[in-house]
Amino acid sequence: MIIAVDGPAASGKGTIAKALGRHYDLPCLDTGLLYRAVGLSVLDAGGDPDLESDALAGCDFNDSLLDDAALRSEAIGAIASRVSVHQSVRLALVQRQREFATQPGGAILDGRDIGTVIAPDADAKLFVTASVAVRAQRRYAEGLAHGGAPSLEALVADIEARDARDMSRETAPLKMAAGSDLLDTSDLTIAQAVSQAIALVDAQLEGRRPA
């Protein structure tokens, strides 16, 4: 069984995907980490994320990079969004994602194009979203919790810029996949979002909409 969870930055998709993984006992892949690893590799090599050849060279990263805490920063998220517009970069990462998706027993993947490109035949698909204000506030609280001094204004600008880039790129833009259910987490606690996600997935698996 394959579950696809897509959505914009800070929508809650990663938290929901992990919770679904525990609920259905399925392994999870945060595909954003792959693009973040490409971005960090490009920076480390002194390359230009907007130059397709530099970005493609960054796809040869060592897997140990996926555990690097530096990948989680907002700055690397923005670089990931820049390298991910290049078609050759997306192609270079497809096989690894499809292998994960089709492993025996099933899998959950979260990202931007899982339900549209990586696993269009997924058994269940969610599109997780939330308002820009709520998403920026979440990143702000995370920043504070990690001892930083984030700027709410800068976070709003970063999220808007990333949404615009992710939704307008030619290859695999962020959009709701056919057969996907929308889950808006703006006014939901994590527990509420997770229980709604499970209800939606159960309903899709049973081939019906929730009552």
Footprint of ligand CDP on residues 118-157 (CB under 6 A)? none
User: Near ligand CDP by CB under 6 A, which window of 29-37, 58-66, 145-153, 194-202?
Assistant: 29-37
Position 77 contacts ligand CDP (CB under 6 A) = yes
Cα Rg, the chain, nearest whole Å: 17
CB 4 within 8 A of CB 119: yes
Nearer to ligand CDP by Cβ, of 123 and 163: the residue is 163
- Taking the complex as a whole, how short is the minimal distance between the CB of residue 150 and ligand CDP, in angstroms? 14
Cα–Cα dist 16/194, whole Å? 6
Task: Write down the residue that tokens 């259905």 correspond to.
Answer: 24
Nearer to ligand CDP, 26 or 128 (CB): 128
| Beta carbon nearer to ligand CDP, 143 or 203 | 143
Regarding 166 and contact with ligand CDP (CB under 6 A), the answer is yes
**Among candidates 115, 133, 120, 106, which has minimal Cα distance to 7?**
115
| Segment lying near ligand CDP (by CB under 6 A), choices 31-39, 52-60, 141-149, 198-206 | 31-39
CB of 78 within 8 A of CB of 162? yes
In the complex, the smallest distance separating the C-beta of residue 12 from ligand CDP, rounded to whole angstroms, is: 9
- DSSP assignment of 191-210 equals HHHHHHHHHHHHHHHTTS--
**Cβ contacts of residue 26 below 8 Å, gap of 6+?**
1, 3, 20, 105, 106, 107, 108
**Which residue, chain included where needed, has tokens 């833009």?**
173
Does residue 158 belong to the site contacting ligand CDP (CB under 6 A)? Answer: no
Q: Which of 3, 15, 29, 36 binds ligand CDP (CB under 6 A)?
A: 36
Q: Pick from 12, 47, 55, 112 the residue near ligand CDP by CB under 6 A.
A: 112
Q: Burial of 123 by CB count in 10 Å (0-12 exposed, 13-18 middle, 19+ buried)? A: middle
Binding site for ligand CDP (CB under 6 A): 9-10, 14, 31-32, 35-36, 77, 80-81, 84, 111-113, 162, 166
